[in-house]
């Protein structure tokens, strides 16, 4: 009689042996397709633009039940198709700036393949393991795939499982230790633990320890987060910060300007006077009003103004005069249209700048966006986050999509920055989703975040992710100014020191689990 290896999935669960099929196994096979439908229906709400936090825990439970109940060569290709279909729903409305056509379908299919890969790893390894190791395969694989995917993706960590948990502040505090990777692991861990109970029952062999360990870690994470919020809140000293997005109608005028790639100097000057100057004048007027009203830091959104390369010096000089006159820190953000841009050789057509002036009118930094969104028309900056010490704490800045890259932003945490300025510019379908990511960077690096946003949601949070100010109505409101009192002292975090160690440990864990699953086993002779 052939004896099963300990921890392996019996044929009735794996469904790999047709000759052993029975009416009961066929019935379970039909149910597995229902679990696929349920899990796929939950997926569009587990990631990207319409987030319901609980679905990120539940969707993998049903999808894992499907792949564990099917042959590998059936379940995983079907899951790729299902995930790709769900992504078409999640990416609706021009969510990512990827041109429609074959390239777009390949892009979505690649995302679907990456999403299905951890399920394939689980399907291969989990039947060969038992107990706690059996439940660790899937979360370690999800964390590893997400982490390695950020290395080559122009969108960084966009779509990470961790971002689905934006609404839970106690759980969010975990990222101050592990980065988003620990939260991704924890959420993904629930699916194999639930499947162990599903397969074996609550009192089944080898189930108690995985359930207990998962529950203990989850409770510990919640207790840590609750204690951090209760006992390590930022200090009471604050600074008044004004975050300005441009007037919606004037911004639309500026960005409706004719193409300048082949324009003469006279034509460029005409475009400047008719399209660019009105929004600049309005931004400077509002900046002055906020300075008079008591703001000590005034910051514009990304791409708040457009200006010509030949006018950039004059715009900075105008900002310096305002900062000097009112004794404020003023950060102006602008898209600079290059005079020689747009040539056939693919050279950049513009530059994306955030320029900070101090109360003396001196330029503190001229930062260029490090991680441009594909199609924005400019080359990346050097990727060095600037800092400056002020009476209101240490300041730093990044721009918009830079915040998809935690390792880049960790420079601010390592420098013990207190307030991170995050000028951004979105579009309607990504506005809420992108704003939900800002608190993650705040908690990871122990810095308050101020995020003035054109075509999106402006907000400010403290260093633990608490919302200090929120302005969601860019597309309907006339006023585009957010004012918030922001703590002037941040906090230190483990993540700012250790970086992505948890992600690397997860990758190493996958290798260890592979070795454990395929190590030679010694069998006793049957008596």
Measured between alpha carbons, how far is 389 from 180 in angstroms, rounded to an integer? 28
Instruction: Give the model confidence (pLDDT) of 173-218 as tens digits.
Output: 999 999 999 999 999 999 999 999 998 876 667 789 999 999 999 9
Question: Mind listing the pLDDT tens digit for each residue in 76-98?
Answer: 999 999 999 999 998 888 887 76
**227-247 per-position pLDDT tens digit:** 999 999 888 899 999 999 999
345-386 pLDDT tens trace: 667 899 999 999 999 999 999 999 999 988 888 899 999 999
Q: What is the rounded average pLDDT for all residues in the chain?
A: 91
pLDDT of 11 over the 70 cut: no
Q: What CATH class does 238-490 carry?
A: alpha beta
User: Got the DSSP string for 81-130?
Assistant: HHHHHHHHHHTTTT-S---SSHHHHHHHHHHHHHHHHHHHHHHHHGGG--
* Per-residue model confidence (pLDDT) at position 96: 77
pLDDT above 90 for 163: yes
CA distances from 260 to 144, 249, 393, 425, 495 (A): 45, 21, 41, 22, 45
Q: How confident is the model at residue 152 (pLDDT cuts 50, 70, 90)?
A: confident
CA 187 to chain centre: 15
Domain boundaries, the chain: 11-232+501-517, 238-490
Separation CA 527–CA 522 (nearest Å):
15
Burial class (CB in 10 A: 0-12, 13-18, 19+), 142: buried
pLDDT band at 13 (very low <50, low <70, confident <90, very high): very low
The alpha carbon dihedral of 375, 381, 385, 388 has a sign of negative
Phi, psi of 363 (to 5 degrees): -75, 120
Share of the chain above pLDDT 70, in %: 91
Determine the 3-state secondary structure of 50 from DSSP.
coil
| Burial bucket for residue 396 (CB in 10 Å: 0-12, 13-18, 19+) | buried
pLDDT digits (tens, 9 = 90+) for 261-311: 778 889 899 999 999 999 999 999 999 999 999 999 999 999 999 999 999
Strands 350-357 and 387-390, bridge-based pairing = unpaired
Bridge partners, residue 459, by sequence? 451, 470
- 509-526, pLDDT tens digit by residue? 999 999 999 998 765 444
């Amino acid at each position: 009689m052939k004896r099963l290896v300990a921890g392996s999935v019996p044929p009735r669960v794996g469904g790999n042996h047709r000759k052993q099929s029975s009416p009961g196994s066929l019935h379970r096979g039909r149910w597995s397709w229902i679990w696929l439908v349920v899990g796929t229906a939950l997926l569009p709400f587990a990631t990207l633009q319409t987030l319901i936090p609980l679905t990120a825990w539940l969707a993998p439970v049903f999808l894992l039940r499907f792949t564990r109940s099917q042959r590998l060569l059936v379940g995983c290709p079907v899951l790729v198709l299902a995930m790709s279909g769900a992504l078409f729903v999640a990416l609706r409305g021009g969510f990512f700036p990827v041109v429609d056509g074959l390239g777009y379908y390949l892009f979505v299919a690649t995302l679907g393949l990456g999403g299905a890969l951890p399920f394939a790893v689980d399907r291969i390894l989990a039947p060969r393991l038992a107990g706690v190791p059996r439940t660790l395969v899937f979360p370690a694989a999800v964390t590893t795939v997400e982490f390695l995917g950020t290395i080559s993706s122009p969108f960084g960590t966009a779509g990470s499982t961790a971002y689905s948990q934006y609404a839970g502040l106690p759980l969010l505090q975990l990222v101050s230790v592990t980065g988003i990777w620990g939260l991704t692991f924890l959420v993904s861990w629930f699916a194999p633990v639930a499947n162990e109970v599903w397969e074996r029952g609550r009192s089944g062999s080898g189930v108690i320890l995985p359930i207990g360990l998962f529950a203990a870690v989850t409770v510990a994470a919640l207790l840590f987060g609750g204690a951090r919020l209760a006992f390590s809140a930022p200090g009471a000293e604050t600074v008044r910060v004004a975050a300005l997005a441009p007037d919606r109608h004037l911004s639309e005028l500026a960005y409706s300007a004719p193409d300048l790639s082949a324009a003469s100097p006279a034509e460029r000057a005409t475009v400047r006077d008719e399209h660019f100057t009105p929004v600049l004048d309005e931004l400077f007027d509002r900046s002055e009003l906020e300075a008079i009203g008591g703001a000590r830091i005034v910051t514009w959104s990304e791409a708040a103004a457009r200006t010509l390369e030949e006018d950039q010096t004059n715009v900075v000089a105008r900002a310096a005069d305002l900062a000097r006159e009112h004794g404020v820190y003023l950060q102006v953000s602008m898209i600079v249209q290059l005079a020689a841009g747009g040539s056939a050789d693919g050279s950049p057509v513009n530059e994306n700048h955030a320029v900070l002036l101090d109360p003396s009118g001196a330029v503190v930094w001229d930062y260029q966006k490090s991680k441009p969104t594909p199609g924005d028309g400019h080359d990346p900056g050097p990727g060095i986050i600037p800092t400056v010490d002020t009476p209101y704490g240490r300041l730093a800045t990044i721009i918009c999509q830079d915040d998809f890259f935690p390792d880049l932003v960790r420079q601010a945490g390592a420098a013990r920055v207190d307030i991170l300025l995050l000028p951004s510019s979105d579009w309607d379908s990504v506005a809420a989703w992108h704003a939900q990511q800002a608190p993650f960077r705040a908690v990871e690096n122990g810095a308050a975040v101020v995020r003035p946003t054109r075509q999106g949601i402006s907000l400010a949070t403290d260093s633990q992710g608490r919302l200090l100010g929120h302005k969601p109505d860019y597309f309907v409101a006339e006023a585009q100014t957010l004012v918030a009192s922001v703590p002037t002292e941040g906090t230190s975090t483990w993540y700012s020191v250790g970086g992505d160690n948890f992600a690397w440990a997860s990758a190493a864990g996958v290798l260890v689990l592979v070795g454990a699953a395929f190590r030679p086993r010694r069998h006793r002779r049957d008596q």
